[in-house]
Amino acid sequence: MKGLSPRTIIQRFVEHVNQGNIEGVNSLVSPDIVFTDIAGRVYREQEFMENYMREFPNYKIHVDHLFQGGDGVAIVGHTTGSHVPADIEEKEVLVWTAEVTDGLISEWRIYSGEEYAGRS
């Protein structure tokens, strides 16, 4: 995906996730990607997102705000269809950060954004 901005790559990644397009997701992820979940667990496998999407086929990322700085991108939003119960999920604000290296996502992290007041 060289030639595309990190922002565009992340937007496409989210679109593929929301469409359940595992092939599309894998096309944007570096073979040596590092995924860090909300609990701080680190996964160093390209198949992490694929496995999650297979386990939770209705998983969607809803973007409220997206920011780019250099090769880094941050998203503020929420999810639906994840492993979290729906009544919690609808109130939970999440922050994702990503690094793009050579046109592929090389790092993807998720944080709790409960202090963020941008969503009611």
- What pLDDT sits at residue 96? 97
Task: Give domain 6-112's CATH number out of 3.10.450.50, 1.10.150.240, 3.40.50.1820, 3.30.930.10.
Answer: 3.10.450.50
* Whether the predicted model's global pTM rises above the 0.85 cut: yes
In tens, the pLDDT along 68-101 reads 999 999 999 999 999 988 888 888 999 999 999 9
Stretches in the chain below the pLDDT threshold 50 = 117-120
Domain boundaries, the chain: 6-112
In angstroms, the CA 72 to CA 17 distance is 19
- What pLDDT sits at residue 119? 45
